[in-house]
Amino acid sequence: MIEPRRPSHPGEPGIGPDLAPPFTAEDEATRWLFSLNRRGIRPGLVRIEGVLADVGHPERRLTTLVTAGTNGKGSTTRILGRLLQAAGLKVATYTSPHLLRVYERLTIDDRPVDPAWFARTVEATREAIERHEASWFESLTAVAVQIAAEAEVDVLCAETGLGGRLDATNALPAAATLLTTVDLDHQHILGETREEILAEKLGLLEPGTPFFGAIDAALRPQAFAAAVTAGSPAHFLDELTRIEDHDDHWRLVLRDRAIDGLPFMGSAAMQRNAALALLCLDTLALGGVVPPVPDPAAALADLFLPGRMHTVLTAPDVVVDTGHNAQALVGTLETFLARPVGGRRIVILGGMRDKPVPRELGPLLARCDAVTLAPVSLPRSRDAADLADLWEFLELPPRSEHSIMDSVADALSYWGPRLQPDDAVLATGSCFLVAELLHRLGVRDLEQTRRPRPAASALPG
Q: Which amino acid is at 369?
A: D
Q: Give the CATH fold of the 28-301 domain.
A: UDP-N-acetylmuramoyl-L-alanine:D-glutamate ligase (3.40.1190)
Q: What is the pLDDT of residue 255?
A: 87
Residue 256 has a pLDDT of 83
CB contact at 8 A, 233 and 174: no
Is the confidence at residue 273, as pLDDT, over 60? yes
Tell me if the bond preceding 22 is cis, omega within 30° of 0.
yes
Instruction: For the chain, give percent helix, strand, coil, nearest 5.
Output: 40, 15, 40
pLDDT in tens, 122-179: 999 999 999 999 999 999 999 999 999 999 999 999 999 888 888 899 999 999 999 9
Domain ranges, ordered by start, for the chain: 28-301, 310-457
Say yes or no: domain 310-457 is CATH 3.90.190.20.
yes
- Whether the CB-CB separation of 68 and 161 falls below 8 Å is answered with no
**Which of 99-103, 180-184, 272-276 is predicted least confidently?**
180-184
Percent of the chain with pLDDT over 90: 80
pLDDT at position 4 over 70: no
Q: Tell me, what's the pLDDT at 8?
A: 43
Note the pLDDT tens digit of each residue in 202-218. 999 999 999 999 999 99
Under DSSP, is residue 458 helix (H, G, I), strand (E, B) or coil? Answer: coil
Q: Does residue 2 carry a pLDDT above 60?
A: no
* Helices vs. strands in the chain: H and E counts, helices first: 16, 17
CA distances from 338 to 111, 266, 341, 345 (A): 31, 10, 9, 11
Distance CA 320, CA 435 (A): 9
d(CA 310, CA 421): 18
- Percent of the chain residues topping a pLDDT of 70: 96
> Is pLDDT of 187 > 80?
no
* pLDDT confidence of residue 9: 42
Please write the tens of the pLDDT for every residue from 307-354. 999 999 999 999 999 998 888 899 999 999 999 999 999 999 999 998
pLDDT single digits (tens) 26-75: 899 999 999 999 888 788 899 999 999 999 999 999 999 999 998 899 99
Tell me the mean pLDDT in the region 101-110: 96
Mean pLDDT is lowest, of 24-33, 221-230, 392-401, 427-436, for: 392-401
